Amino acid sequence: MQPKIPIASITDEFSPDLAVALDAMAEIGMTGAELRMIGGKNIMDLDEEELARARDLVSERGMKVISIASPLLKCVLPGGPEVDTRFQHDVFASRHTFEDQPRLAEKAFRICKFFGAPILRVFSYWRTVEPEKCFDAIVRALENLATQAAQENLIIGLENEHACNVATAAETLRVLAAVNHPALQVVWDPANCYISGQIPFPEGYRMLPAARIAHVHVKDCSLNGHQPDWGPVGTRDIDWKGQMAALKADGYNGYVSLETHWPGPNGDKYEASWICGWNLRGLASL
């Protein structure tokens, strides 16, 4: 069956070797690539030659880069409440401070333009014990990024991330209401919403304005207490059948992009992503 919603993946979920990852993705039927790490380096740290090689590899397979999965605003907010240490801080070979953010943003915009990627993924600072006290600073940062993005004809995709201050659909909605800018949209991650304590579908998804969902990340888990137990997409607690059906019914025209997380059988991440990729294709084809 052919996917009714186009499918993609964060490439390093398959392999740090971009060519290996893209070959597997193409065989599954993915037409979009989301770039986060290549060769063990964060996309923000690649030199011009490495970026050009990556662009060629994607183009050679008839695929396109749909999003730059940057680490923007994945840092401590100075003067904010104490960081909530319950959450693992996934940095993907990119540790940056608040002071680094303007430089990172400038480079991220350039990388988006270089690849022709329409979406720049960002976050909302590491989650604190009082996330609501970070709201005004998050709004200011996102307003600034959205204004810059609009000048470049790009979209800022705010991901709801359980380790950051905007994690649930309710928290995401509040930010969208405060930053009513067409260049600020959502990277909707149902599993992150679930880990953060809200049922992602239908409850969380139905809170969000469908027109402002630019991108969707796909992974699946159950919960062991407050800790996620990752598994093959479509086999855990996230109602992916319902979520896919709702996206289609609402006229969603973006990609659904695999972000495996599951370590896989015997710790084989490539095999995990291969399994999840084919499961994703099946779900997107219903």
Looking at residue 87, what is its pLDDT? 82
Tokens 């469908």 locate to: 210
- Single pTM value for the model: 0.97
**Domain ranges in the chain?**
7-285
Q: pLDDT per residue over 152-185, tens digit each?
A: 999 999 999 999 999 999 999 999 999 999 999 9
Looking at residue 181, what is its pLDDT? 98
Distance of CA 193 to the CA centre of its chain: 12
Stretch among 31-45, 76-90, 238-252 having the lowest mean pLDDT:
76-90
For the chain, what percent of residues have pLDDT higher than 70?
A: 99
Distance of CA 31 to the CA centre of its chain: 17
Tokens 């270089």 locate to: 114
Please give the C-alpha separations between residue 139 and each of 19, 61, 94, 184, 241, in angstroms, as whole numbers: 38, 39, 23, 11, 33
Q: Please state, in angstroms and rounded to a whole number, the distance separating the CA atoms of residues 101 and 119.
A: 17
Res. 95 pLDDT band, cuts 50 70 90: confident
Q: pLDDT per residue over 121-134, tens digit each?
A: 999 999 999 999 99
Q: pLDDT per residue over 227-266, tens digit each?
A: 899 999 999 999 999 999 999 999 999 999 999 999 999 9
Res. 225 pLDDT band, cuts 50 70 90: confident
Burial class (CB in 10 A: 0-12, 13-18, 19+), 9: buried
CATH 3.20.20.150 fits domain 7-285: yes
Residue 200's nearest CA partner among 244, 139, 258, 157 is: 244
Looking at residue 91, what is its pLDDT? 67
Distance of CA 161 to the CA centre of its chain: 9
pLDDT, mean over the chain: 97
- 120 has pLDDT over 70: yes
